[in-house]
Amino acid sequence: MGRLFGTDGVRGVAVSELTTETAMLIGRAAAVTLAKNSHHKAKILIGKDTRVSCDVLESALIAGICSVGADVHTLGVIPTPAVAFLTVKYGADAGIVISASHNPYEFNGIKIFSSSGYKLPDEVEAEIERLVLDARNEMAPSGCSNLGRVYVEKNAEWDYVRHLLKNIDSDLGKMRIVVDCANGAASSCAEKFFKGLGANVIMINNTPNGTNINDECGSTHLEQLSNAVVENRAHAGVAFDGDADRCLMVDEKGEQVDGDRMIAILAKSMKEDGTLLSNTCVVTKMTNLGFFKWAKENGIVVSTASRIGDRYVLERMLLDGYNLGGEQSGHIILSDCATTGDGELSGAKVLEILAASGKKFSELASIFTPYPQLLVNVKLRPECRGKFNEVPEIAEIIDYCSNKLGSDGRIFVRESGTEPLLRVMAEGRDKDAIYQYANAIAQVVKKHLGETEL
């Protein structure tokens, strides 16, 4: 068993890589680590998305947690941000989510929230990992009289929906929207939420069957949403990933509105009404250069997270006292009302601004002009993960392309924290040039480390 935790919890092909044994051990280790200072019987929540493997992994987690004397409260199929919120509301010691987010149904994952509703810091994940990998004797099961029990939280979804509704002030009654749930965790609650706001809601991809999550739908495949918005003459479309912690949108013309534009819309609105703390938002190195240019021109300070990933965006927000941050991928954190990225909340906040503006969404979303940007993914051979910095030819082609772009653009190469992929991003004023350079780098990576280009 290799290293467990990546940038967003534990992830792998369900049952073969992320095994039931591993899930049971993670359950034990999480219960021992997160409840060790508790003076009451530990209480851990479990929520999940719609993958066919969720039930078996949930059973394994429950077995591990209860075996060391902690109680489990199951939430059923529910978005990741709901687990974070309910962990605090229900006074739990931890909340666990079974999901692989935007990945295909064959994958699954486990991510854990602390009692305060935040993703675990690296050092706590490291302690859980140590217990799983090296010190199973420290997790001796309780005797029969001390075993944990399992409880079902029947009101979890409505408790979460009511929380969302409390954080949106406007009635969206004049708005027609299309909502794509990716056949994932938001398939039930999203309709309740957006109809609760008074919107005319057209739902698509909200009939999960265990294997159709993220299948050519949701935030990673916006074609269905774009077509549905145009066909239904909707004002906007909203798409979630499998666990609904992120959201992308489309305008009335069916054109994509990515996380960068959503953050810009939110930042401008919050600055105007005086709620953007320190007039600052937090983004990552992947954020479009056009966003930085726009922010400077509009008196908005941009702070860049130390690493890619929404957990590092939140880390910077908490460290410096900011209340808005996010990623181009649609992870957006509004820390005045959430402890993690929440796709339903961020999508509704943008719709609220749209409704108040009186503009068409395409007008609102033209808030800045993005630089042309191309992202190419190269699938890595298993034995080559973590080694792209060791290949001189890759460093040489990156340097060459970066120098050719000069000050008119940039090259950014990084390994995914959740998948066996190397991501090559090129950005600049010249669309043809960035296409050429991104693919040139990808071909060299593929030659030395890759399987097939996605």
Active-site residue numbers?
101
Q: What is the CA radius of gyration of the chain?
A: 22
Check: CB of residue 362 under 8 Å from CB of residue 250. Answer: no
Distance between CA atoms of residues 186 and 49, nearest Å? 8
Check: CB of residue 178 under 8 Å from CB of residue 68. Answer: no
Which of these, 420, 436, 440, lies nearest to 428 by C-alpha position? 436
Whose structure tokens read 């350079």? 437
- Residues 180, 183, 186, 190, CA torsion sign: positive
> What distances in angstroms separate CA 296 from CA 41, 56, 244, 300, one per listed residue?
51, 50, 31, 6
Q: Which residues are annotated as a binding site?
A: 101, 241, 243, 245
Distance between CA atoms of residues 105 and 389, nearest Å? 31
CA atoms within 13 A on the CB side of 454: 12
Distance between CA atoms of residues 206 and 209, nearest Å? 10
DSSP SS3 for 20: helix
Check: CB of residue 267 under 8 Å from CB of residue 276. Answer: yes
Whose structure tokens read 């999901």? 99
For the range 128-136, what are the long-range contacts, defined as Cβ-Cβ under 8 Å and sequence gap of 24 or more?
128/4, 128/5, 128/26, 128/29, 128/30, 128/33, 129/3, 129/4, 129/5, 129/29, 131/25, 131/28, 131/29, 131/32, 131/33, 132/1, 132/4, 132/22, 132/25, 132/26, 132/29, 133/1, 133/4, 136/25
Check: CB of residue 25 under 8 Å from CB of residue 133. Answer: no
Q: How far is CA 410 from the centre of its chain?
A: 25
Q: How far is CA 373 from the centre of its chain?
A: 21
Check: CB of residue 57 under 8 Å from CB of residue 110. Answer: yes
Q: Which residues are annotated as a binding site for Mg(2+)?
A: 101, 241, 243, 245
> What distances in angstroms separate CA 187 from CA 183, 184, 220, 318, 395, one per listed residue?
6, 6, 16, 31, 44
Check: CB of residue 71 under 8 Å from CB of residue 151. Answer: yes
Neighbouring C-beta atoms of residue 295, cutoff 10 Å: 23
Which of these, 185, 179, 309, lies nearest to 242 by C-alpha position? 185
